[in-house]
């Protein structure tokens, strides 16, 4: 068995809404049924006893080793603690070749799981060793490294619960919530509106304390020092005992408390000085509390205890630490509820003050504290006390956060109890933290967990807001780029800043920011991350969906222009029109429940997509009497159709009419495929709740020139002849173009055409077969990229299509697109018409425009 290709499907895709790994797997003839491999399953289970059943429940099928790979990869992830459930194996049309799809939550973990599953199968086949426990441990460790930390994860989970989309911007904790102009960003428990100044103040403990003191918040006396002598002087000044800590620190690093002797202070000074300037302040007796403030409210509070063990009269301190660390809640990083206790030099020095060492055996019930500070990051524990907080303490915590300027703030308080005001018990605020850790509130060691992510999301997004902008997804065999451009124009006419992706590039607010074929998910994600985008119109081509899935989780409107006879068939296992329809309908499957699928009622493959749409349907078709249209309208649903010389939108008895004479792109309705594009765009705008006044104004202002829609039936005048430039490249497009051209008067008709090498032979020949019935002259050219074809092979297929042509009398072959264009123009006479099927869109249009401009200048002279 061999894996020939692996892809990460990072968005909703052909197989599932979940992220997934897709592997192309080739099996040898003897690997087509694993039950026929002698002793295979027994050898496999001997190496991985807890693998899930290989056969579906109650089934008895012939399953290949590719199916075993699927089950093993999913089982390894599941046992590593990853929340994955979906997997599938699909036999392709290629003999012994399978597509294996396995869900993942972290891409690197999913890929490693497939790699380990393959190693497991190889071990079972070759009777070599495979350590399943080690493999699962590797996957678990990688998952902990890759996944979002608990603080960020709590906020993301709360956002998802509200329907807010999210995207990780780095492998760390920087996350975007929402899209476009409505997007917000967080980094751990810090939001984008918190200033760097506020964060800088919070890091300076002396400045923080002075600001809080001036605001009337109780704080311990003390100040920064520059030597041990000065530290002792300050200690005597404020009164013993004291605390020594770094002026700029976090996670309790370098903090030593309850110091009463100069020797202790000297050791503490040495520890704190590793982290910068040292502070000495009065030690406040009592417990260590962390109060979490979000905005103007206290949302959680916890009492923190330092790392400690309880003697049993039998085990050493070292052994007791090991026993405590066996708690599954304890890990080495921040990904678990608690952190493992470290018996390091600081801990050894601390227990030495109690007359103990790591090999001492504490008495039964003896409490051995291993550190002075109670931070969770050093192995401490937490007890939720949110319900005990006195209103006055809550008010002082909010005051502290707002004085520093933090929207999310961890306020550290030392006092005896949360039940009485700080002033009554000589308590105080000892520290204020930006980006506080949330573990102690999300999963306290004791007490009730608090879902603190919810108020943080509420701080970012007002009630009822989901951070989403209108997203219109467009796909189809033909017309999708023009339709996307019209939709984008309609949103712009409404005063919105539009982000648009299509096969020509990426556009934001009318400015092109990327060029080339940008109809894939990466370009879509770039648009949705742009801060100047109020609405996104995204062309979704088949290649991008296959390669990576969609660049969004769901859309407000999904438009499918047509499927027809298909295009690009025979590539990536999409071999039939039915296969292509299943792929194209992915955008329809991911419409929001409150959204619309806009579907071509005449195309049976498209019309059938209505059954998988979570939202409502708007059908469009020129023929309002078509059974699909008539039934849909009779049921009170939305339809868009042509009635005489107007486009009509109807829902029940309500109607809106737009005369085709007011829609320039249709040439008063004479260009049929443009009428279809306009109907689709009109339905999309209707589904997105744009006002009809805006739709009318937008359609009347959309001109089909090389600026608005390059390569989409761009009409030019050249010395009294008509030139039409179009990017049509499949049989359906040829039929539509012929129908449009025949509606335009001409003495003689000529066409310039090449063929894309990545189409099937019959698709290339079919194009010229259609054109040969409608054009007098046919100029064939070989384009710049043959896409895997041999030199001259495409031209030969085009010539085959012209065999028996009833109208064509002149055929010639020319090397080079621009030379072919020049040849065609040289044969034009006033009143003629020339259709130029361009390949290099921008360059070819510029070349044509140069000829047109020169001819105009010569005429004017």
Within the chain, what is the greatest distance between any pair of CA atoms? 110
Q: What residue has token string 């991350």?
A: 529
Report the C-alpha gap between 753 and 456 in whole angstroms: 59
pLDDT digits (tens, 9 = 90+) for 14-26: 999 999 999 999 9
pLDDT confidence of 333, banded at 50, 70, 90?
Answer: low
**Residue 559, helix vs strand vs coil:** strand
Burial environment of residue 56 by CB neighbours within 10 A (0 to 12, 13 to 18, 19 or more): exposed
Residue 728 has what pLDDT? 84
Beta-bridged to residue 834, according to DSSP, are 723, 750
Residue 804 has what pLDDT? 83
For all residues of the chain together, what is the average pLDDT? Answer: 92
pLDDT confidence of 331, banded at 50, 70, 90?
Answer: confident
Is the pLDDT confidence value at 134 over 90? yes
Q: How far is CA 799 from the centre of its chain?
A: 46
Q: How far is CA 832 from the centre of its chain?
A: 51
Does residue 313 or residue 595 have the better pLDDT? Answer: 595
Contact 718/851 with Cβ under 8 angstroms? yes
Fold of 287-451: D-amino Acid Aminotransferase; Chain A, domain 1 (3.30.470)
Report the C-alpha gap between 618 and 651 in whole angstroms: 9
pLDDT digits (tens, 9 = 90+) for 814-833: 988 999 999 999 999 999 99
Quick count: other Cβ atoms within 10 Å of Cβ 239? 10
Mean pLDDT of 466-480: 96
pLDDT digits (tens, 9 = 90+) for 100-109: 999 999 999 9
Domain limits, the chain: 2-146, 221-282, 287-451, 471-700, 714-860
Residue 589 has what pLDDT? 98
All residues at 6 or more sequence positions from 798 whose CB lies less than 8 Å from its CB, including other chains: 753, 754, 755, 764, 765, 767, 768, 780
Q: State percent of the chain over pLDDT 70.
A: 97
pLDDT confidence of 58, banded at 50, 70, 90?
Answer: low
Report the C-alpha gap between 520 and 165 in whole angstroms: 19
At the second CATH level, the architecture of 221-282 is 2-Layer Sandwich (3.30)
pLDDT digits (tens, 9 = 90+) for 67-91: 999 999 999 999 999 999 999 999 9
- Beta strands per DSSP E along 564-615: 591-600
Is the pLDDT confidence value at 521 over 90? yes
pLDDT digits (tens, 9 = 90+) for 772-788: 999 999 999 987 666 66
pLDDT digits (tens, 9 = 90+) for 412-455: 999 999 999 999 998 999 999 999 999 999 999 899 999 999 99
Q: How many CA atoms lie within 13 A of 355 on its CB side?
A: 4
What is the CATH number that goes with domain 714-860?
Answer: 3.90.190.20
The pTM assigned to this predicted structure is: 0.86
Is the pLDDT confidence value at 155 over 70? yes
- Beta strands per DSSP E along 201-286: 222-225, 242-246, 256-259, 278-282
Task: From the options 1.20.1630.10, 2.40.10.230, 3.40.190.10, 3.40.1190.10, give the CATH code of 471-700.
Answer: 3.40.1190.10
Is the pLDDT confidence value at 704 over 90? no
Radius of gyration of the chain (CA): 35
Residue 348 has what pLDDT? 87
All residues at 6 or more sequence positions from 76 whose CB lies less than 8 Å from its CB, including other chains: 48, 113, 116, 117, 120, 132, 135, 136, 139
Residue 785 has what pLDDT? 60
Contact 726/710 with Cβ under 8 angstroms? no
pLDDT digits (tens, 9 = 90+) for 606-615: 999 999 999 9
Contact 568/542 with Cβ under 8 angstroms? yes
Q: Phi and psi of 761, rounded to 5°?
A: -55, -45
Burial environment of residue 611 by CB neighbours within 10 A (0 to 12, 13 to 18, 19 or more): exposed
Mean pLDDT of 636-662: 97
Least confident of 208-222, 379-393, 790-804: 790-804
Mean pLDDT of 325-351: 80
Least confident of 149-163, 362-376, 738-752: 362-376
Report the C-alpha gap between 586 and 609 in whole angstroms: 9
The two structure tokens encoding residue 423: 């002033």
């Amino acid at each position: 068995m061999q894996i020939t290709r692996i892809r990460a499907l990072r968005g909703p895709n052909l197989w599932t809404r979940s992220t997934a790994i897709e592997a192309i797997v080739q099996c040898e003839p003897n690997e087509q049924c694993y039950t026929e491999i002698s002793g295979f399953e027994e050898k496999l289970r001997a190496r991985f006893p807890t693998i899930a059943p290989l056969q579906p429940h109650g089934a008895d099928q012939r399953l290949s080793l590719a199916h075993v790979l699927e089950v093993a990869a999913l089982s390894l992830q599941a046992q590593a603690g990853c929340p994955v459930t979906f997997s599938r194996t699909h036999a392709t049309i290629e003999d012994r070749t399978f597509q294996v799809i396995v869900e993942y939550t972290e891409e690197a973990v999913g890929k490693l799981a497939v790699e380990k599953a393959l190693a497991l199968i190889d071990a079972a086949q070759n009777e070599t060793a495979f350590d399943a426990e080690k493999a699962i441990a590797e996957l678990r460790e990688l998952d902990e490294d890759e996944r979002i930390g608990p603080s960020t994860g709590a906020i993301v989970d709360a956002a998802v619960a509200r329907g807010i989309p999210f995207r990780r911007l780095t492998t760390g904790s920087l996350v975007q919530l929402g899209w476009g102009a409505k997007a917000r960003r967080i980094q751990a428990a810090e939001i984008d509106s918190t200033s760097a100044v506020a964060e800088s103040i919070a890091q300076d403990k002396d400045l923080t304390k002075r600001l809080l003191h001036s605001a009337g918040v109780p704080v311990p006396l003390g100040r920064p020092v520059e030597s041990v002598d000065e530290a002792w002087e300050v200690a005597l000044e404020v009164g013993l005992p004291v605390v020594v800590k770094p002026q700029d620190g976090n996670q309790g690093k370098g903090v030593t408390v309850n110091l009463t002797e100069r020797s202790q202070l000297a050791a503490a000074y040495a520890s704190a000085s590793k982290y910068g300037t040292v502070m000495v302040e009065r030690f406040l007796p009592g417990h260590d509390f962390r109060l979490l403030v979000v905005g103007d409210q206290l949302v959680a509070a916890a009492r923190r205890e330092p790392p400690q063990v309880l003697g049993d009269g039998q085990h050493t301190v070292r052994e007791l630490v090991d026993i405590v660390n066996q708690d599954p809640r304890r890990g080495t990083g921040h990904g678990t509820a608690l952190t493992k206790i470290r018996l390091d030099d600081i801990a050894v020095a601390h227990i030495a003050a109690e007359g103990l060492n790591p090999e001492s055996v504490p008495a039964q019930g003896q409490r051995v504290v291993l550190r002075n500070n109670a931070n969770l990051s050093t192995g401490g524990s937490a007890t939720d006390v949110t319900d005990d907080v006195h209103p006055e303490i809550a008010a002082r915590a909010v005051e502290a956060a707002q004085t520093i300027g933090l929207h999310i703030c961890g306020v550290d308080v030392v006092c005896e109890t949360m039940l009485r005001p700080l002033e009554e018990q000589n308590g105080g605020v000892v520290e204020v933290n930006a980006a506080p850790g949330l573990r102690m509130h999300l999963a306290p060691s004791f007490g009730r967990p608090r879902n603190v992510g919810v108020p943080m999301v509420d701080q970012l997004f007002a009630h009822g807001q989901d951070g989403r902008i209108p997203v219109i997804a467009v796909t189809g065999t033909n017309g999708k780029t023009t339709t996307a451009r019209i939709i984008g124009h309609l949103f712009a006419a409404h005063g919105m800043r539009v982000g648009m992706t299509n096969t020509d590039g990426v556009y934001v607010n009318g400015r092109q920011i990327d060029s080339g074929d940008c109809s894939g998910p990466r370009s879509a994600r770039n648009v949705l991350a742009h801060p100047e985008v109020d609405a996104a119109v995204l062309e979704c081509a088949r290649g991008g969906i296959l390669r990576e899935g969609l660049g969004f989780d769901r859309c407000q409107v999904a438009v499918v222009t047509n499927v027809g006879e298909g295009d690009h068939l025979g590539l990536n296992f999409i071999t039939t029109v039915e296969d292509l329809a299943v792929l194209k309908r992915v955008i329809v499957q991911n419409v929001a429940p409150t959204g619309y699928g806009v579907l071509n009622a005449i195309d049976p493959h498209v019309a059938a997509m209505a059954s998988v749409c979570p939202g409502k349907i708007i059908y469009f078709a020129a023929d309002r009497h078509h059974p699909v249209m008539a039934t849909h309208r009779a049921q009170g649903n939305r339809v868009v159709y042509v009635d005489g010389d107007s486009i009509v939108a109807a829902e029940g008895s309500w109607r809106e009419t737009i005369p085709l004479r007011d829609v320039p792109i249709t040439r008063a309705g004479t260009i049929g495929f443009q009428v279809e594009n306009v109907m689709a765009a009109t339905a999309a705008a209707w589904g997105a709740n744009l006002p009809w006044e805006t739709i009318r104004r937008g359609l009347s202002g959309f001109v089909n020139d090389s600026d608005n829609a390059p390569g989409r039936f761009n009409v030019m005048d050249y010395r009294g002849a008509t030139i039409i430039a179009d990017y049509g490249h499949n049989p359906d497009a040829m039929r539509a173009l012929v129908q449009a051209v025949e509606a335009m008067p001409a003495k003689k008709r000529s066409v310039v055409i090449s063929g894309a090498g990545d189409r099937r032979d019959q698709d290339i020949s079919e194009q010229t077969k259609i054109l040969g019935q409608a054009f007098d002259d046919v100029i064939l050219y070989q384009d710049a990229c043959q896409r895997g074809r041999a030199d001259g092979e495409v031209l030969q297929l085009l010539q085959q299509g012209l065999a028996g042509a009833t109208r064509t009398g002149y055929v010639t072959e020319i090397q080079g697109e621009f030379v072919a264009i020049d040849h065609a123009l040289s044969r034009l006479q006033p009143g003629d018409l020339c259709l130029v099927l361009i390949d290099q869109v921008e360059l070819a249009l510029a070349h044509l425009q140069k000829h047109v401009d020169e001819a105009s200048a010569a005429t004017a002279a």
